[in-house]
Structure 1
Amino acid sequence: MKKHKNVVFFLIKFFATYFILFAIYSSYLQRSQTKVGQFKTASITTIVADQTVDLLDFFGYDSGAYQHKEELSVKLLIHGKYTARVIEGCNSVSIIILFVAFIVAFAGSLKATIIYSVLGSLFIYVINIARIAFLAVMIYKYPEKQEFLHNLVFPALIYGTVFLLWVIWVNKFSNYKR
């Protein structure tokens, strides 16, 4: 058992952090979303959609974000054309929770763990907004490629970013670095 102590300790820290953060987020979603009558997405999802519109507008696209009337999503329009929707899974919170759980499980010093968790989470959040904006533009320009873009290219961007941040953390800052 001593041989596997580090693995067991890692798993306990990872899952404890993950489930605590997930429980907090789930509670937030229950209080902030409305599924009955008029749909309303959680404020973080709406903020992500609005910031995506800000980025699209910055690059010269006439865009807008509107609460979908028939589902928990925010419609993204480019030049008046419905191109994409932002749902709860698109707001990056779930992947940030996964990211932070890994960082805590492979903890370094308390200061480094906190700083890297915060800065890494912000980086993931910003990359995610850029990813959604780029996806919306690509779907606007190449609607026939929507499935390929949404199901393969864009998940690879966000998960690749998280994986790269994890590798940097383990090799440079965690107590497990060589």
Structure 2
Amino acid sequence: MKKYLIQFRPFLIFVGTFFLAYILLTLIYGAYLNTYQTNDLDKITVVAGRNTEQLMKLLNYDVIIQKNSSKPWLDVAFNGQDVVRIIEGCNAVSVMILFAAFVLAFSGKFKTTLIFILLGILSIYILNVCRIALLTVLLYKYPNQIHLLHGVLFPLIIYGFVFMLWIIWINRFSKYAK
């Protein structure tokens, strides 16, 4: 048994670090969400909605994104028609947590790791705002394609982007990059 623990030590350290970081970050985020009342919407989601509205207005789209008066989501009206809702899960924080936990598990130098995580989270956030905006336009034009667009294509894009960041991290910056 000891032989296997020694042989698989790097893998076990990776898995242990990943799950520890993932659980810790998830608990911190959960505690943050618990500071809000049942029908309140967290500030991260509100800011993501506001940034999506700003982006769409910058692109000359007729869009209004506002808090639903009785439910914990943002209603998105596009060309005068309610098209989508932005809920807490749309803010991509769970994707950011997954990204950060993986990078921490393959950590490199402290400063490099921290900068890569921060820039990665920022780029995931920007991609997510673009995703919400594009999804709004596409669902307005193709409302029957919600499963394909929301359930398949856009998760593929955002998780594909995170995977690409992980590959860059492992090959260029992690302690295993040599």
Please indicate, yes or no, whether the TM-score normalized by the shorter chain is above 0.5: yes
Alignment of 1:24-43 (within 5 A): 24-32=28-36, 34-35=37-38, 39-43=39-43
Q: CA deviation at 1:85?
A: 0.9
Q: CA deviation at 1:70?
A: 4.2
Percent identity over paired residues: 39
| Aligned mates of 1:66, 1:80 — CA distance in 2 | 13
Write out per-residue CA displacement over residues 86-111 of structure 1, whole angstroms, 9 at most, x where no aligned residue.
Answer: 11111011110110000000001111
Alignment of 1:76-155 (within 5 A): 76-155=76-155
Q: In the alignment, residue 82 of structure 2 is paired with which amino acid? A: Y
Any stretches of 5+ residues in structure 1 without a counterpart?
none
| Aligned mates of 2:107, 2:135 — CA distance in 1 | 34
Q: CA deviation at 1:62?
A: 1.2
SS at match of 2:34: helix
Q: CA deviation at 1:83?
A: 0.9
Q: CA deviation at 1:148?
A: 1.0
Q: In the alignment, residue 131 of structure 1 is paired with which amino acid? A: R
Q: In the alignment, residue 115 of structure 1 is paired with which amino acid? A: I
| Aligned mates of 2:25, 2:83 — CA distance in 1 | 32
Name the counterpart of 2:63: 63
Q: In the alignment, residue 28 of structure 2 is paired with which amino acid? A: I
4+ residue segments displaced more than 4 Å? none
Name the counterpart of 1:14: 18
Q: CA deviation at 1:69?
A: 3.3
TM-score normalised over the length of structure 1:
0.94
Q: CA RMSD in A?
A: 1.0
TM-score normalised over the length of structure 2:
0.94
| Aligned mates of 2:76, 2:40 — CA distance in 1 | 15
